[in-house]
Amino acid sequence: MTAPFLAVFAMFFVAPLVYSVILSLRSPLTNGFTGLLNYRTVFSNGEYWSGVVRMGYFGLIQVSVMIGLAILLALFLDSPYCRGRKFFALVYFLPFAVPGVIAAIQWGFLLEPDLDSVLNVPHHLGLAAGPVTPLDYRLSLYAIMLIVTWEFTGYNMTILLTSLTNVPHQVLEAAKVDGCSELAIATRIKLPLIRRTIAFIVILSIIGTLQLFNEPVILNEIASIGNSFTPNQIIYNTAFSFGNEQLAAAQSVILAAITIVATVAFFGLVRRKLGPLAATRGR
C-alpha cells in the first residue's frame, strides 16, 4: 500500500536531498570533491547572512503580529459577543485561495503612488513632502510583512477557530456557572487549551518565513526593491544567474539546517509550557 508513495518519495524527495549534499561538497570549478570549501564560502558571504538575519527580524515582527491577530480574531469569533461569525470566518480565509504571486501583484500596485491615488492624499493635504512610498528601499521589508500578514492571518485563524470548537462544552459551562467573565474564559481556559495548535502554526510560520521567495521577487519586478532580499532569492541567483550550482547546494543545505534548528529551538523554548505530548491524544 505504501509502495507507490515510497517510490516517488525516494525519487523526488530523498534523491534531490542526498544529491544536494553531495553537490555541496564538489568544487564549482572542477566538480571534484573539495570537502567543506563551499560551506566556508557561504559562511564568509555577508549577503547570504544579512538575508538570513533579515528573515530573522522579519519573522520576529511579522509572525508575532500575524499570530497575535489570528488569536484575537479566533477568540472573538468564538465568543458570544460575535455577530456574523460565519461571514467573517469566510472572508478572512479568502486570501488562502490567492496565489502569493498574485497577492504580491495586487499589493505591489496598491503600494505604488503612480497607481494608487490614496498614497498621494497626505501630500495633497500638505502633510507630507511627497507621495507615500512603501516600496522604497527602507520600507519594502515592512511592505512584505503587510502582504504576508494579509495572505496568512486568515489561514492561521481558521486553524485556531476549528481547534477552539473542539474545546469541551462542559468545561465552558462549568466556568460560566462559576461566574467567569468571557474575558477570563478566553484567556484562562480557551487559550491554554489551544496552546499546542498555536505552537504548531508558529512552527509553520517560521518555516514559511525562512523560505520567503515569491513576494520579494514579484515586488522587485514591479518596483526594483533588490533581488537578494531573502536567502532563497540568493540561492536562486547563485544557481541560475551565476551558474554556481555547487555553492547554491551548500546554501540550500545551510538554509535547511537553519530551518530545522529554528524549529527545534522554538519547540525547546515552549516545550515546558506545552506539557507532556500524549496529554491530549485521542481527542
Partner 1 sequence: MTAATISRRRSPASLGTGGRAARRLKTTIGTAALLLVAVYVIAPIYWLVVASSKNAGQLFNSSTFLPAAHLNWISNLKSLFSYNSGDFKWWFLNSVVYAVATASLATAVSTLAGYGLAKYRFKMRGAILGVVLGALVVPATALVVPLFLLEHDVHLTNTYEGVILPLMVYPFGVYFMSIFAADAVPDTLIDSCRMDGAGEFRTFWQIGRPILMPGMVTLFLLSFIGTWNNYFLPLVLLGTESRFPLTVGLGAWASDLNLAGAGQPLYPEVIIGSLVSVLPMLVLFPFLQKYVARGLTLGAIAGE
- 33 pairs with which residues across the strands? 26
Q: How far is the CB of 165 from partner 1 (least distance, A)?
A: 9
b/e burial code for range 148-180 (CB count within 10 A of at least 16 → b): bbebbbbbbbbbbbebbeeeeeeebeebeeeee
Say how many residues touch partner 1, by CB under 8 A: 104
Region binding partner 1 by CB under 8 A among candidate stretches 34-42, 58-66, 87-95, 122-130? 87-95
Interacting residue with partner 1 among 52, 239, 266, 270 (CB under 8 A)? 239
Window 1 to 20, contacts with partner 1 (CB under 8 A): 1-2, 4-6, 8-9, 11-13, 15-17, 19-20
210 touches partner 1 (CB under 8 A): yes
Q: How far is the CB of 129 from partner 1 (least distance, A)?
A: 21
Please identify which residue in 29, 97, 127, 129 interacts with partner 1, judged by CB under 8 A.
97
User: Is residue 211 involved in binding partner 1 (CB under 8 A)?
Assistant: yes
CB of 189 to partner 1, least distance (A): 13
188 binds partner 1 (CB under 8 A): no
Does the protein bind partner 1 through residue 277 (CB under 8 A)? yes
Instruction: Please compute Rg for the chain using Cα positions.
Output: 23
108 close to 218: Cβ distance less than 8 angstroms: yes
Rule CB under 8 A: say whether 272 interacts with partner 1. Answer: no
Interface pattern 98-127 for partner 1 (x via CB under 8 A): xxxxxx-xxxxxx---xxxxx---------
Which contacts qualify for 94-97: CB closer than 8 Å, 24 or more apart? Answer: 94/154, 95/150, 95/151, 95/152, 95/154, 95/155, 96/151, 96/154, 96/155, 96/158
Residues 119-178 close enough to bind partner 1 by CB under 8 A: 150, 153-155, 158-159, 161-163, 166, 173, 176-177
